[in-house]
Structure 1
Amino acid sequence: MGAGLVAVSCSRTENLQVKAAKAPDPPTVAVAKATTEDLAHNLILTAEFKPFQEVDVMAKVAGYVKKINVDIGDQVKQGQLLAVLEIPEMIDDLTRAKAAVERAQAEVARANDELKRAQSAHEIAHLSFTRLSAVAKQKPGLVAQQEIDDAQSKDLVSEAQISAARSNLTAAEQQVHVNNAELQKLKTMYDYAMVTAPFAGVVTKRYADTGSMIQAGTASNTQAMPLVRLSENSLLRLILPVPESVVPTIHIGQQVEVRVPTLTRTFSGRVARFADKVMYSTRTMDTEVDVPNPNRTLIPGMYAEVNLSVASRHDVVAIPIPAVEAGSDPSSGQVTVITPDNRVEVRQVKLGLETSTKVEVRSGLKEGDLVVIGTRSGLEPGQEVRPKLTTMGAP
C-alpha cells in the first residue's frame, strides 16, 4: 500500500509540472511613451533664389564709352562711378547756353538803364508841366495854353515810357530765368555722362566696352544697349506658390527655415510680402520670403526648400501616429494602453494637430502612458503583456 501512495504522489507531481510547462509566457508588444512636446505641421515648398533687386543700368544720354570702371563680379556701392561717356556736342551746347545766359543778363542791365533814363525824363517833363500849370493859375494869360498842353503831353508820354521800360526789364529778367533753366538742364544732362550705381550690389553682366556707342535709354521704342547689369545679392528673395488651403495661415514677419540642398545648410528667412490674391489658374498665392545673405554664400539661381509652418502646438501630449486607430471623425480615435500592471486597456482619445510622425492627444492620455504601436490583433482588454519600449522618429 505504501508503494501505491508513492506512485500516486509521483503521478500528481508530474501532472503539475506538465501544466506549468504548458502555461504560455505573456506576449511581448512594442509600445511608445506619450510625451509632452511642441508639434508643428509644416509645408515644404521649393523655389529659386532671386536677387532682391536687379536692373540693367542704362545711359540717359547718348555717347561713346570713354571709360568703364567695373567688370563681372565686382562689388559696387550705391553712387559709385561705373562708366564715363564722351559727348562732344554737349560741351558746345553748354558753351552756347552759358553765352545765352550772359547775353540775357546784359539785356537786363540795358533794360535797367532804359528804365532809369525814362524815369529821369519823366521827372523833367513832370516838373515842367507842374511849373507851367502853377504860373498859369497865378497869372492867367501869361503862358499860352498850347504850351501847357505840350508840357502835359510830354509828361504823359514819359510816364508811359517808364511803364514800357519796366515791362522790358521784366521780360529781360524772365529771359535770364529761361536761359538759366536751359543751362541747368544741359548741366544735368551732362552729369548723366557719369553713370553711377543706383544701389549697392554686384555686377553680373557687362554689355559695353571702351569706345562702344551707347544710345539714350529713355524711349521704349529704341533698342538701347545697357552698360552693365547690377544685382543686389546681400538680400535674396524666394517666391513661393502657397496653396489656397494654407493662405489663411500666412502673415507678414513669419519666420521660416530655408534649406539649400547644394550647400547642405539651413538659413533663416522671413515672409516679407504676398500678393493677397489667389491665382485662378494654379489656386496658389505668390508669397515672397526674404533671406539675408551678408556673406554672399547664397547665389541667385540656387534652389531652396522652404519649411513653412502651417500650424503649431506647444507643450501638448503626443504619441506616434501608428498607435492610433482612426475613429468616426479625424478628431477622434482609439488607442491600446498598457497599464502599470502590464494589462491591456482600450481608450477613446480626442486628437489634435498631426505631423508626419506624431499626433496631438487632447484628452484620454497623460504624459508617460504606454501605448501599443505594433499589431494589436489578438490583444484583449485585461490581458497581461510584456511591453517593450520603442523609440519613434521625431515630429
Structure 2
Amino acid sequence: MLLALLASSACGDKQATERGGRDEAPAVPVTTTIVRMAPWNDTIAALGTATARESVSVTAKVSETVQRVHFDSGDEVAAGAPLVTLSGQQQQASLVAAQAAAEEADRLLRRQSELAEQQLIARASLDSQRATRDAARARVAEIRANLGDRTIRAPFAGVLGIRRVSPGALVTPGTVIATLDDIGRVFVDFPVPEGQLAHLAAGQRVFGRSDAYSGREFEGTVSTVEARVDPATRAVNVRADFPNPDKVLKPGMLLQVRLQRPERQALQVPEISVVQVGRESFVYRVGAGDAVEQVPIQVGGRDDGRVEVLSGLEAGDRIVVDGTGKLRTGSKVVEAEAAVPAATPAPPRTRERRRNAG
C-alpha cells in the first residue's frame, strides 16, 4: 500500500514538472516602432581636393636687381597692387634719351610740313620724316613697357604665400616672387563613378568635412561635371564651388565630400533595429499576440542612424528597435516601459529575526 502511494506521488510530481515546462516563457521587454514612409536623400560619398578659384605663381619677366619689396608673407592684396620694384636706372636713362629724340623728330616733322606746303621740299622727304617721328614714339613706348616690367604687380586680389625674394637679390625671368591665391571661394574636385552620372547636375548641394576642422561641415554646390569619363578609372570628375568667407579652406586640402541627390519618399527603419547575419539582414516584426518573427529585408542606403528598406517590410509594420539580442522567432515581447515591476520590500535578515526571537 505504501509503495503504491509513493509511486502515485512520484507520477504526480512528474506530470506537474512537465506542465510547468510547457508554461509560456515571460515576455521580453523591448522597444518597438512603426515602419513609415519618410523623406530620404540619397548621397554620393567621395574624397575631393580643394583648389583656389584663381591661383598663380608671381614671377619676374626680366633680369634685374630687386630694389624694394612691398609685401610680407601672407598679406592680402588688391588687384594691381605693387609687390616688387626692380631697379630700372638704365631704362630710365634710355627713356629720357628716347623722349628727346621723339620730340626732335616731331619738331622736324612740323617744320618740314610747313616747307612742303610751300613746295620747298619734296613730298618724299616729308614722308620719311614722318616715319622717323613714328619710330621715335614707338621707341618711347617700348622703353616705358620695359619700365613697367620693373614693377611686379598682383594680377588679381588674393592672399600671398611665402615671400621668396629680398631687396638686392638678382632675379631672372621665371624667378618666383610669391604665390597668389584667391580663396574667397574655392573649388573642390572629386571623382564620381560613371554609374552615378545620370544623377549628377549643376546646382546640386554638396557637403564637405575636413580633418583640420572636426565637427564643422562646409556647404557648396556643383558647378561643373566633366564632359569626359576617365577610361582608366571609369569615373567622371565633378567640381563643386564652396564659399570660403573666413578663408579656412586652403588649396590642396583633402575633404570628405557628400553629394546630396533630390529628395524622395522611402521606407526606412532605425539602424539599430537591423540584425546582420553574414551577408543577410533581418528585423524582428511583431505579429499577433505580440509574438515576433525574423523577417529578411533588403537594405538600401544608410544615413545618420537610418536605413532604407527596399523590400521585406511594408508601411505600418511594427518592428523591434532595441532588445533584439534576446529574441527568437516566436518570442513574446512587451514594451519596456510596461515591463518594469513594482519594487518589492526586502525580507528581514535571519540574524535579526533570531535575535528578536531570543
Report the equivalent of 1:230: 180
Report the equivalent of 1:183: 140
Q: Determine if contact 1:39/1:355 at 8 Å carries over to the other structure.
A: no
Report the equivalent of 2:302: 355
**Aligned counterparts of 1:348 and 1:168: Cα–Cα separation in 2:** 103
Report the equivalent of 2:89: 88
**Aligned counterparts of 2:233 and 2:336: Cα–Cα separation in 1:** 46
Please state if 1:261 is matched with 2:208. Answer: no
**1:1-395 paired onto structure 2 within 5 Å:** 22-25=22-25, 27-28=27-28, 31-118=32-119, 164-165=122-123, 167-215=124-172, 217=173, 224-264=174-214, 265-309=216-260, 311-320=261-270, 337-339=285-287, 342=290, 353-355=300-302, 357-360=306-309, 365-367=314-316, 369-372=317-320, 374=324, 379=329, 385-388=332-335
Cα deviation 1:69-127 (Å, max 9, x = unaligned): 112122212111111111122112212221221122123123212212217xxxxxxxx
Q: Call closer, same or farther: CA 1:190–1:364 in 2, change over 3 Å.
A: same
Question: CA-atom RMSD, angstroms?
Answer: 3.8
**Aligned counterparts of 2:152 and 2:202: Cα–Cα separation in 1:** 36
Q: Call closer, same or farther: CA 1:377–1:232 in 2, change over 3 Å.
A: same
Q: Determine if contact 2:69/2:167 at 8 Å carries over to the other structure.
A: yes
**Aligned counterparts of 1:236 and 1:198: Cα–Cα separation in 2:** 18
Q: Give the secondary-structure state (helix, strand or coil) at the position aligned to 1:278.
A: strand
Residue 238 of structure 1 deviates from its aligned partner by 2.3
Q: Call closer, same or farther: CA 1:286–1:361 in 2, change over 3 Å.
A: closer
Q: Give the secondary-structure state (helix, strand or coil) at the position aligned to 2:230.
A: coil
**Aligned counterparts of 1:186 and 1:386: Cα–Cα separation in 2:** 93
Q: Determine if contact 1:338/1:345 at 8 Å carries over to the other structure.
A: yes
Q: TM-score, normalised by structure 1?
A: 0.67
**Aligned counterparts of 1:254 and 1:176: Cα–Cα separation in 2:** 61
Q: TM-score, normalised by structure 2?
A: 0.73
Q: Call closer, same or farther: CA 1:190–1:58 in 2, change over 3 Å.
A: same
Cα deviation 1:222-253 (Å, max 9, x = unaligned): xx312222222322232212222223322222
For structure 1, list consecutive stretches of 5 or more residues without a partner in the other structure.
1-11, 120-160, 218-223, 391-395
Cα deviation 1:18-61 (Å, max 9, x = unaligned): 95894314654854421332223323322343333322211233
**Aligned counterparts of 1:98 and 1:78: Cα–Cα separation in 2:** 30
Q: Give the secondary-structure state (helix, strand or coil) at the position aligned to 2:315.
A: coil
**Aligned counterparts of 2:236 and 2:37: Cα–Cα separation in 1:** 35
Residue 210 of structure 1 deviates from its aligned partner by 0.3
Q: Determine if contact 2:292/2:333 at 8 Å carries over to the other structure.
A: no
Q: Determine if contact 1:207/1:225 at 8 Å carries over to the other structure.
A: no
> Partner amino acid for 1:386?
V
Q: Determine if contact 1:27/1:386 at 8 Å carries over to the other structure.
A: yes
Cα deviation 1:238-277 (Å, max 9, x = unaligned): 2212222223322222211111122111111222224322
**Aligned counterparts of 2:135 and 2:190: Cα–Cα separation in 1:** 53
Number of equivalent positions: 315
Cα deviation 1:154-203 (Å, max 9, x = unaligned): xxxxxxx7xx42x4334433433332232122212212222111112222
Q: Determine if contact 2:294/2:328 at 8 Å carries over to the other structure.
A: no
Q: Give the secondary-structure state (helix, strand or coil) at the position aligned to 1:104.
A: helix
**Aligned counterparts of 1:198 and 1:343: Cα–Cα separation in 2:** 74
For structure 2, list consecutive stretches of 5 or more residues without a partner in the other structure.
1-11, 338-358
Residue 67 of structure 1 deviates from its aligned partner by 0.4
> Partner amino acid for 2:239?
E
240-249 or 251-260, which deviates more: 240-249
Q: Determine if contact 1:253/1:272 at 8 Å carries over to the other structure.
A: yes
> Partner amino acid for 2:209?
R
> Partner amino acid for 1:355?
R
Q: Call closer, same or farther: CA 1:22–1:334 in 2, change over 3 Å.
A: closer
**Aligned counterparts of 2:266 and 2:46: Cα–Cα separation in 1:** 27
Whichever structure has more strand as a proportion of its residues is 2
Q: Call closer, same or farther: CA 1:26–1:226 in 2, change over 3 Å.
A: same
**Aligned counterparts of 2:325 and 2:262: Cα–Cα separation in 1:** 30
Report the equivalent of 1:158: none
